[in-house]
Structure 1
């Protein structure tokens, strides 16, 4: 447990460094926005392309794995939605809260951290988790939240366009297409992707911390509930599905559970801000879940590493 905590500590130290730089205004909000854009569109895309180009679709696509993760995630999504509706928050706010309860920071935090802690075999399953989050739940929130503002056809078009324009989906798809063509990556291209992709981990973690400096801790009770959903209920539900209901290999289950234990993703705030639906609530959930994950994530990772192959 202590050993795992010490291994995760550098990741959270980088987040803290970004937070401190932004909090002291040494790193401005504009600088954070541009760093995030660089990581999102260039560094992380290069990393994902190189990873997926060295995998085949059969290495990634596992329908039992998808079923287990989707069922566990949907269960907590429904719990968070029902709780929000009982509090009379309305469907749009309920959808945003449900997104906080199940969508973790897989792209910026999960891929680099879990690949380092759980080995290269974690890359394929983590990318599959990322794909399910983006394709299924990323589309769902646009439909539920945007449905009240646009015509139904426009909502579905917006969801589809959002997927097509998402550099993480594009880079994974292009990488798998390259792999399917069975073309080796030329040495100069591989070195370029390696060099650019190496900036993804420190850049993403610093950007997470810098973005947290602008987050508030308002509505702390709701943020606490959503954090409990994300850090405890979500990995718990996924564990039940992956180990009992739709049993996958122990190593795949470990990776899936660890991915589910990640704190709330920053892109939920972007959507909430765009549609002006509970952005302060989402902001608080991101801040609280990220801070508490410093303690909770090592516990989960220490447990899943005991599951064996």
Structure 2
């Protein structure tokens, strides 16, 4: 058995337990929302804060890492947008939903515990470099394309001004708990100050539960979303997410000469399925909810196999 197989089994078993608990009504439906809120607003931001403040980043500036990952995002997002519009005859808003579904890896709720289990703190440190700009870039792109799609489809009133878009983006960014945790960790790191021992133990205690709770919460959430039709379209999006995106990330990482460890992390990150963000965008656009829900559910189930395959491929070529 490959060394990473145990981690994959543990990660997706925790998700399955959460799904089963929701299906059997062991937990109330709102319990899953509460767990997700705790993980997203407290546990994971503290984990990112502590990682960025204390981890050893010994690979230099992460420019090549960012280029490798976000080239994969761009290629996959564009391919999904064109496929859903040209191949399935959907409108521009559905194209935006498809792009998010195929290009937006679940780097936080799934990626953080997954990478921590695979590669420990060094893997989490590399992933945090991607997460640090992932949210701003994806939020910004989604907002701009949201406005373009609504205007293109003639589905809304007056479009927002550039100033309104920028101020709205900044407002969402500075109020995002993940961004607050990242910036806080960066400030502590740059200041050279050490986290007091008692404070560090409290932060670590809360941060250490982020992984298991996040995976359990994913399972509970998936039960609520489920498979809601549009299976052919969803399978097309999932194929791009789980096959094309990690392939492009691997190709770019090798082309740019990333260190072996960073190659493994960037491909593992790109191979993860989409999270709830695709459904949130679909709900905001008022179209593509079934596509996003079905893609998220099928993608998470299939990723249990495809992620392991990509890790085997990376081990073979680097």
What TM-score does the superposition give when structure 1 sets the normalisation length? Answer: 0.93
Q: Distance in 2 between matches of 1:262 and 1:281?
A: 18
Shift of 1:62: 1.3
Contact 1:101 1:264 (C-alpha < 8 Å) held by counterparts: yes
Q: How does 1:179-258 map to 2 (within 5 A)?
A: 179-217=189-227, 218-244=229-255, 246-258=256-268
1:151 to 154, 160, 178: 160
Shift of 1:182: 0.4
Shift of 1:219: 0.8
1:259 is aligned to 269
What is the alpha-carbon root mean square deviation over aligned residues?
1.9
Q: Distance in 1 between matches of 2:60 and 2:104?
A: 20
1:165 is aligned to 175
Contact 2:57 2:126 (C-alpha < 8 Å) held by counterparts: no
Shift of 1:100: 0.8
Contact 1:46 1:171 (C-alpha < 8 Å) held by counterparts: yes
Q: Distance in 2 between matches of 1:209 and 1:303?
A: 27
2:51 is aligned to 51
Shift of 1:271: 2.5
Q: Distance in 1 between matches of 2:273 and 2:53?
A: 28
What TM-score does the superposition give when structure 2 sets the normalisation length? Answer: 0.90
Q: Distance in 2 between matches of 1:132 and 1:222?
A: 29
Q: How does 1:1-309 map to 2 (within 5 A)?
A: 1-55=1-55, 61-86=61-86, 87-147=88-148, 148=150, 149=156, 150-153=159-162, 154-217=164-227, 218-244=229-255, 246-306=256-316
CA 1:57–1:10: 2 relative to 1, 3 Å: closer
- How many pairs align? 307
Q: Distance in 1 between matches of 2:132 and 2:91?
A: 28
The superposition leaves residues 119-138 of structure 1 with CA deviations (integer Å, 9 ceiling, x where unpaired) of 32212321222234312122
3-state secondary structure, aligned to 2:109: helix
Show structure 1 runs of 5+ residues with no match: none
Contact 2:272 2:307 (C-alpha < 8 Å) held by counterparts: yes
Q: Distance in 2 between matches of 1:210 and 1:56?
A: 34
Shift of 1:252: 0.8
CA 1:236–1:60: 2 relative to 1, 3 Å: same
Q: Distance in 1 between matches of 2:2 and 2:67?
A: 33
Q: Distance in 2 between matches of 1:139 and 1:57?
A: 27
Show structure 2 runs of 5+ residues with no match: 151-155
CA 1:286–1:199: 2 relative to 1, 3 Å: same
